Amino acid sequence: MVRVRSLVFVPALVSMTLAAGDYDALLNAMTKAWPQVKTLAVVCDANSSKRSLSALTSAADNFRVLVVDVRGPQDMGKAVAALSGRKPDAVVLLAGDHVAGDGSAAASFIIQRMAVLKIPTAATTEAGVKQGAALAIGTGTGGRLMANAKVAAVAGVAVPAGALAF
Q: What is the CATH number of the domain that holds 156?
A: 3.40.50.2300
Long-range residue pairs from 104-108, CB within 8 A, at least 24 positions apart, any chain: 104/73, 105/73, 106/43, 106/70, 106/73, 106/76, 107/131, 108/132
The pLDDT value given to residue 18? 32
The pLDDT value given to residue 5? 59
* Number of domains present in the structure of the chain: 1
Q: Is residue 13 assigned to a domain?
A: no
Q: Among candidates 66, 4, 67, 5, which has minimal Cα distance to 38?
A: 66
| pLDDT of 1 higher than 70 | no
The pLDDT value given to residue 35? 96
| pLDDT of 11 higher than 80 | no
The pLDDT value given to residue 118? 96
- Kindly report, residue by residue over 86-137, the tens digit of the pLDDT: 999 999 999 999 999 998 999 999 999 999 999 999 999 999 999 999 999 9
Q: Is residue 14 assigned to a domain?
A: no
* Residue that wins the pLDDT comparison between 12 and 108: 108
| pLDDT of 17 higher than 50 | no
Q: Is residue 148 assigned to a domain?
A: yes
The pLDDT value given to residue 12? 35
Q: What is the mean pLDDT of the chain?
A: 89
Q: Is residue 68 assigned to a domain?
A: yes
**To the nearest 5 percent, what fractions of the chain are helix, strand and coil?**
40, 20, 40
- Give mean pLDDT, residues 1-15: 47
* Residue that wins the pLDDT comparison between 15 and 116: 116
Backbone angles phi and psi of 115, in degrees to 5: -60, -40
Q: Residue 138 and residue 125: Cα distance in Å, rounded?
A: 6
Q: Residue 50 and residue 131: Cα distance in Å, rounded?
A: 24
Task: Give the structural domain span for 46.
Answer: 3-8+19-165
Among the residues of the chain, which ranges form H helices?
A: 11-14, 21-33, 50-59, 76-86, 105-116, 126-131, 149-155
Amino acid (1-letter code) at residue 150 = K
